[in-house]
A and B are shown apart, each in its own frame.
Chain A
Amino acid sequence: MRKLKAVKITQAIVELVKRANFSLRKDVLFALRKAYGFEKNRRAKTILKAILDNAAYAQKENLAICQDTGMPVVFVQLGQDLKISGNLKAAINSGIESGYKKYSLRNSICKDPLLRGKSGFSPCIIHMDIVSGNKITLTLLPKGFGCENKSQLKMFKPTSSLEEIKSFIIDAVKSAGADACPPYVIGVGIGGSADYASLLAKKALLKKIKLQRGLSPKGTVPGLERELLFEINNLNIGPLGLGGRATALAVNIQTYPTHIAGLPVAVNISCHALRSAEIVL
């Protein structure tokens, strides 16, 4: 069994904090540049330019891309043949705490959701998964709350039509409107249970944004992603909600088997500053 000291995890998380908050993901940058190229609305183009300039300036100056450095969400894929010496969860939170301090990010976490009180840098949210092998994969998603507040969950009937599901997803984007920093990336989770669909929707944001090429068959996940993206970009919400083609950069769907009696669908919207970073140890 391979051994790994918990301190290595802490160091890795500190590095992820920096990468995720200062450097926009390559696929997101690419999608933004593409949206800028395609946009015909003059104002939308100006705003997309500012978004691209902001990403470049943040990287150059070591500044957070957005002041909302999020609720840090850490996805852990722990190989079952790896032995961590030390406390894994404490190591992750310690990396978050010291990384956020070191890089002057924002202390946005209220220790008590009802009493609120003085905010701090941690704890983060940890989603743990056991996988085969002797490695550990750590993924940090600092999730801003302007867009997290627009999350939705609906328990559909197993007999509900695809059209009903599509309307629900499109309505979620409409209700986010101008508020959650469009152009969005729309994470959708379909199947599982109420909690699992929500997790899938969030995980969908980690999926690399792919250029849509050619035709995807109707009824398949890529086909549905494509149809939804097209319809969402017809809403004319656009950057800052001031109109334009670029309402969403991508729709990413994750599915999982579900129960005969149900069809959970969750939507987790990301702002244009979709940030995440990953490391394998």
Chain B
Amino acid sequence: MKRIYTPLDLNKIKSLKAGQEVFLSGTIYTARDQAHKRLVQAIKSRQTLPFELRDAVIYYCGPTQTPQGKVIGSCGPTTSSRMDAFSGFILAQGLRGMIGKGSRGLGVKEAIKKYKGIYFITYAGCGALLSKYVKSVKKVAYGDLGPEAILKLEVENFPLIVAIDVNGGSVYG
């Protein structure tokens, strides 16, 4: 099985093909609806972003509260298409990878091709199981958003499937 590491520079991912299974290790940032809205606003008003977007990976995830004695609670992916309206803009700023579940709109597919991004899916509805691959969690921004805050996750061998590759090849046709 292919292993990949963050930061995700183009050389590491350009040979990956839609449908391929990979294990990701390194740093990923959680962000979902409201965090995306804020990130785009921050970029438009030229504010400093809470993390470096270049070659970064965003995980569409809002975990549960963290149970005592655990690193993180249940932490599976949320529906990616809700982020479609923002993804093109964020990819243009240097974002490399996105992790979520489900299909993407045509606009995202085109943006992926144009900016050489990549879209992964992971085991949806398996948030308990996925928590095993998270080694540490740190709150980075937008704490007032509660479960929608941006978290920095250190993951080890996080299981992914390439859903849209850098050339726009897609498992969803």
Contacts and interface: CB of A to CB of B under 8 A. Distances in A.
Contact of A105 (B19, B65, B68): B65
Task: Give chain A's interface residue range (CB within 8 Å of chain B).
Answer: 35 or more
Q: Interface centre among A62, A108, A181, by most B CB within 10 Å?
A: A181
- Majority secondary structure of chain B interface residues (helix, strand, loop or mixed): loop
B6 interface: no
A54 B126 contact: yes
A167 to B, nearest CB: 21
Interface in B55-82: 61-68, 70, 73-76, 78-81
B125 A178 contact: no
A272 B67 CA distance: 24
Nearest to A121: B65
A136 to B, nearest CB: 29
Contacts of A54: 123, 125-129
Contacts of A69: 64, 74
A39 to B, nearest CB: 15
Interface stretch (A45-53, A79-87, A260-268): A45-53
A149 B74 CA distance: 21
Contact of B147 (A66, A119, A273): A119
Interface in B4-61: 19, 34, 61
A54 B79 CA distance: 19
B140 interface: no
Nearest to A271: B125
Interface core residue of B73, B103, B129, B148 (most chain A CB under 10 Å) = B129
Contacts of A64: 64, 73-74, 127-128
Interface string A77-104: 0000000000000000000000001011
Contacts of B79: 146, 149, 179-180
B85 interface: no
List 8 A-B pairs, minimum CB-CB distance, nearest first.
A179-B102, A58-B128, A54-B126, A64-B74, A104-B65, A67-B127, A54-B129, A63-B128
Interface of B: 19, 34, 61-68, 70, 73-76, 78-81, 101-103, 121, 123-129, 131-132, 144-148, 161, 171-172
Interface of A: 47, 50-51, 53-54, 57-58, 61-69, 101, 103-108, 116, 118-119, 146, 149, 177-181, 240-242, 271-273
Given A68-B76, A240-B121, A242-B161, 5 more contacts: A57-B132, A63-B67, A63-B70, A104-B67, A149-B79
